[in-house]
Structure formats: C-alpha cells, structure tokens
Chains A and B, each alone.
Chain A
Amino acid sequence: MRNDYEVAVVGGGLLGSSIAWGLGKLGQRVTVLDEGDIAKRASRANFALVWVQSKGLGMSPYTLWTVRASETWSRLAGEMREQTGLDVAFQRPGGFHLSLSEAEMAGRAASLDKLKNQPGAANYSIDFLDHEGVRKSLPGIGPDVVGGSYCPLDGHVNSLRYFRAVHTGLNLFGVDYRPGHAVSAIAQVGGEFRLTTAKGEIRAAKVVLAAGNANQTLAPMVGLSAPMGPTRGQILVTERLKPFLHFPITTLRQTDEGTVMIGDSREELTDDTTMKLPIHAVMADRARRMFPLLGSANIVRTWSGIRVMPRDGFPIYDQSESHPGAFVACCHSGVTLAPNHAYDIAPMIVRGALDGHQVGAFSARRFAAPAAEGGKSYW
C-alpha cells in the first residue's frame, strides 16, 4: 500500500504552514489541506509580536517554550530570506508594556512577580522603569505614562510577509498546498488516514491537525481533544509614518513599512464581521495618551479577528493513542512560536512521537484535571 503522502497537515495558517515547512525541509512528502483565501484566519488578523514577557503564568513550561522561540526566530527569518528572498523584518530590540496609572503599574508588577516565582520559571530579565526610564527609549511618551516593564527578549515581525514567505517556501520544498480542501471527516483504515475533503479523499500515513479553533471539532475524529475558547480582537491601523517607535509595545507597534498598529481588544465574541466603535475609542484614546503626537495621525484601516485560543490559553500539542500517527497542534501564539513549530514539532512528527520532555506539559490531558487559571495573558 502506498499513501498519497507521508503527512497531511490540516490547516494552512501560520501554525500548519510552519509545521509543514519544517516537514518539507526534512524531505517529507507533505500536503497541506486548507480552506483557502476565504478562510477566517488569525494568520492575517494578528498583531505580529514575538512576545515573551508575561507569558506562562500558570504553566512555566510555556514560558520556556516561548523563550526558546524568541531565541530561534532570527534563524527562521534568515532561512526564509535565503530560501525565498523575502525579508520578514524580524526585529528583537526588546519590548515594553506601558502603564497609564499607578494601579496598572502595581498590577503588572504583581503578575510578573508571580510569574518569576513559579517553580521551573525561565530566568530572563525584566526591567521595571519609571516615566523617565521609559522616556530614554521612547522619547515620545505622554505625561500619563507612569512607567513600564521592558524585556529584552521581546520583538516583532512582519507576520503577513512571513505568511507569504512560508507559503513560498512550502512550494519550493515541493509541499502540495491544496486550497478548497476543508476537511469534514477523518478515518484511519489499515494504518492510513483517509481525509474527506470538499474536493475528494486524501490519504496519508500521518495527520497533523492545525486547523485553529476548528481543531475542537476535528480532534475527536482521531481520538484527541482540543478544548478551545476563542476570543475576538480588534486592531486599528494608521497611515504610514516616518519611523518614530523603535520598540514594540504590547498594544502599539510601528511596522517596518511605517504603519502604526493599535491593538488589541479581547471580546467574548466569535463574530468578526462587525466593528465596535466604543472599543476602538478606548484603544485610540490609550494610544494617544501613550504617544500624544499619534492624536494627529489618520486611522486608515481597522479589522477584527478571532483568536485561536485553547481554553486555558496555553498551547496544545498531543498525539493520539487510539489513532497512532495522528497529532494535534493549536496555540494562540502562532507568530511567536513559529520557529518551534518548524524546528521542534516537525521533526517529532517525522519520528512519530512527540518529545515528552519538551512538550509533554502541553498535552490536552491536562483538561481532565481542574483548570489552571491565568493562562490567557497573551502579552
């Protein structure tokens, strides 16, 4: 028996594409089954931070996993440039979280302190700076900025260009990208997976579910689970401006091409077709208080998107016991964690088993236990 593919990756967003790219790099025969351009994608709606500070409260292995990604992003950006000629504009100058009141500052300090004191916490530095300390790096801040936290591991990337680059790379590796192949059923027959898609059946020896929030529906088809709790976010985008913001901030960053992105709300909604102006107003007002000169900039675009969000906020990487060769991967931070998906998860899939030492903590079996709290802090 010959399968069509060694691996079928379900989902062609940032996460699925990064894993598929890693598989392609290892010479695997791979297909990516994707909805196509009409898919609602976090890959196109995200804020594009490569972010470490504040990640992992409630699960220290997530902090370590995130630090690892931050350390490996420059390698991924370099290989993308070499393979595709595209510069994904990865920069890691360190990043700030700014506080607009003493209460916010105290809350931030308390939560980062808790994070640092968790058993197994990663050891990296976070500086707490007062207004003057912040102003040395961010000269445009307004008087309302009380202070902020700075972490040298934080950065950002042009995530739209990375998305394009990784797909260009898939093509160069000979990976079969198949748009219009939304998967509706998966069965394992005689040791191979048969995936029912909108355009016929695809067969593969292994299957990786990387379909974002849809993993919740797909995972049980292969004896896995992926409990999700999606939230909605909105983003405002200004006209392009001469570079003035040389560090990414949790809710504010200037892209390599000059636009300023103002993020990013969290709403308990899963409809991304309407805008909420009162939320925009709060976001714009906070941005203007942080950088008063932004008050005269024109907003040229807004969008909303649905976050891929496992129910407790931490990634899920799991392998099926009942259906050997089936894997599930989903996480909120598909931008930050892209290098881990390409360089760590992909080789595990080739070997046929996840490395428990590295990603065992991310098994969905944790949901059988009482829920951990505090994981949804994504910046």
Chain B
Amino acid sequence: MFRRSAETTGRTVTITVDGVRVSAREGDSVTAALLASGLDFTRQTVVSGSARGPYCMMGVCFDCLVTIDGVGNRQGCMVPVREGMAVSRQTGKREIGR
C-alpha cells in the first residue's frame, strides 16, 4: 500500500515482527517501518477484537499500539526503530507484566 519516496535515505536496520525479519531504515518509526513492509493492520481492538491500523502517525490516536521488546501497548509511531528490535502485533488486550 505504501512505497518509500526516492528521497528516503539512511542505513538499513533489521527488526523482527512477530519473529519475522523485516528491513527498515534508520529514522523510521516502528509504525512507519511496519507500513513500509506491507502490514496494513497492527492490532485488534481490546473490547470487540476488530482489526486496526495506524491512523494519525503523530502520537494522538493510539491505534498503532504494538508490543516492543516485550512491553505492550507502546505507540509504534512514537518509537524509532533500532537494530534487532523485536516487535509483535497485539491481539486484544495487553497482558499484565508484558
């Protein structure tokens, strides 16, 4: 759905998404990296379980929540990618302690 513009530069960073290696660029937010890799939904809502994807990309809507390095409910759009980062999509509610 999304393509990187020709102007994006930066070195390649590798993260894992649900255990699968995904290439991102230094400077990407986690959410941008997920969208660029072709993932069009990142979580299921906590009450009804419907699929959601990122919306505002600026820290307001909380629709891009993901688990990052074992910590749930992080706003992917506000966290820059780092080499080796482990991201997993959330199904439903966050688990306590995770």
Contacts and interface: CB of A to CB of B under 8 A. Distances in A.
A binds B: yes
Contacts of B96: 140, 241-242, 244, 291, 293-294, 296-297
A127 interface: no
Contact of A241 (B47, B71, B93): B93
A296 B47 contact: no
A240 interface: yes
Interface string B45-88: 01100000000000000000000000101000000000000000
Interface residues of A, number: 14
B71 A296 contact: yes
B95 interface: yes
A257 B46 CA distance: 8
B67 to A, nearest CB: 12
B97 A242 contact: no
A293 B71 CA distance: 12
B21 interface: no
A303 B47 CA distance: 22
Contacts of B94: 239-242, 297
Q: Please report whether the interface of chain B is mostly helix, strand, loop or mixed according to DSSP.
A: loop
Contacts of A291: 96
Interface string A279-309: 0000000000001011011100000000000
Contacts of A294: 96
Contacts of B38: none
B73 A298 contact: yes
B11 to A, nearest CB: 32
Given A140-B96, A241-B93, A258 B71 contact: no
A297 B73 CA distance: 9
B46 A258 contact: yes
A224 to B, nearest CB: 44
Contacts of A241: 93-96
B65 to A, nearest CB: 9
A23 B96 CA distance: 44
Contacts of B95: 241-242, 244
B49 to A, nearest CB: 12
A242 B73 contact: no
Contacts of B98: 296
B52 to A, nearest CB: 14
A297 B94 CA distance: 9
A85 B95 CA distance: 30
Interface string A225-257: 000000000000001111010000000000001
A293 B98 CA distance: 9
A203 to B, nearest CB: 45
Nearest to A257: B47
Given A296-B71, A298-B73, A240 B97 contact: no
Contact of B73 (A140, A239, A293): A239
Contacts of A293: 96-97
A126 to B, nearest CB: 28
Interface string A44-81: 00000000000000000000000000000000000000
A242 B97 CA distance: 10
Nearest to B45: A240
B8 to A, nearest CB: 32
Contacts of B93: 240-242, 258
Top 9 closest pairs, chain A to chain B, by CB: A293-B97, A240-B46, A242-B93, A293-B96, A258-B93, A240-B93, A242-B95, A244-B96, A241-B96
22 contacts: A140-B96, A239-B73, A239-B94, A240-B47, A241-B93, A241-B94, A242-B92, A242-B93, A242-B94, A244-B95, A244-B96, A257-B47, A258-B46, A258-B47, A293-B96, A293-B97, A296-B71, A296-B96, A296-B97, A296-B98, A297-B94, A298-B73
Interface of B: 46-47, 71, 73, 92-98
Given A242-B94, A297-B96, 16 more contacts: A140-B96, A240-B46, A241-B93, A241-B95, A241-B96, A242-B93, A242-B95, A257-B46, A257-B47, A258-B46, A258-B93, A291-B96, A293-B96, A293-B97, A296-B97, A297-B94
